[in-house]
Each structure stands twice: as C-alpha cells, then as structure tokens.
Amino acid sequence: MCLALPMQVIRMEGTTALCQGQNGVERVDTMLTGALEPGQWILSFLGAAREVIDAERAAQVGDALAVLQSILDGHGSAADTDTLINSHFADLVGREPQLPAFLRPATSHGSDQ
C-alpha cells in the first residue's frame, strides 16, 4: 500500500517546493503538478508532489494517518480500533477494493476476443 502525505507549500524554488508536513519541512519535486503557490496543499509521495488538494482533504488524510499510527502504536481496545476505522475509513468499510480506472482492463467494444 502506498500512502501519500499531506503537505503545505511554503515557497517554490525552481521546480521544487519547500513544504511543511507532519515530518517537518521537506523539499518536494513539482514536475507532476507544476508550479505551486504558498499555502496550497499537496499529497506528496516519495519526495514528489502527486496531487494538489484542498485544506479539507489534507485534514481528512492527516486524521486518517493519525488513526493508523494510533492503531499501530497499540493505543485503545479492539472496540476503540473498530470505532476509529469505521469513522475515518467509512468509504472503505464493507466493500471490495477497486482499482483506479487507469489500471482496470480495457473493455472490448463489440468484439469477441
């Protein structure tokens, strides 16, 4: 599983942005997103900005990551863990994982291949 971290842009420096995230200040490659404005939020993975997001989405991702860390650290009972998972990952509970559209097999249109 890949996890992108929400980060807020401090300033651009050429094709990289100086960003603040939960692990401190990092330099992030912006070749995939293009130039960013101070204050914008991004999802960063492996040192690269992958997506520009809004502050609400950044907070959702940050909360979900905090819940995962809490579970990994062994805080709370099994009932607490279930409650946290159900509240922060409601969109994933009770359904099968789905591939993003670009990874799904192409459908044939009218052919019997």
Same structural domain, 40 and 75 = no
In a domain? residue 43: yes
Q: How many domains does the chain have?
A: 2
Q: What is the pLDDT of residue 110?
A: 54
Q: Say whether both 20 and 61 belong to one domain.
A: no
Instruction: Count the Cβ atoms, other than its own, within 10 Å of residue 7.
Output: 24
Supply the CATH number for residue 27's domain: 2.30.30.140
The verdict on residue 73 lying in a domain is yes
- If asked whether residues 68 and 83 sit together in one domain, one would say yes
Check pLDDT > 80 for residue 93. Answer: no
Residue 111 clears pLDDT 70, i.e. is over it = no
Q: Does residue 106 form part of some domain?
A: no
Query: What sign has the CA pseudo-torsion 71, 75, 77, 83?
Result: negative
Q: Are 50 and 41 in contact (CB under 8 A)?
A: no
2-59 pLDDT per residue, tens:
689 999 999 999 999 999 998 899 999 999 999 999 999 999 999 999 999 999 999 9
| Banded pLDDT at 90 (limits 50, 70, 90) | confident
Range of the domain at 64: 57-88
State the pTM of this model: 0.72
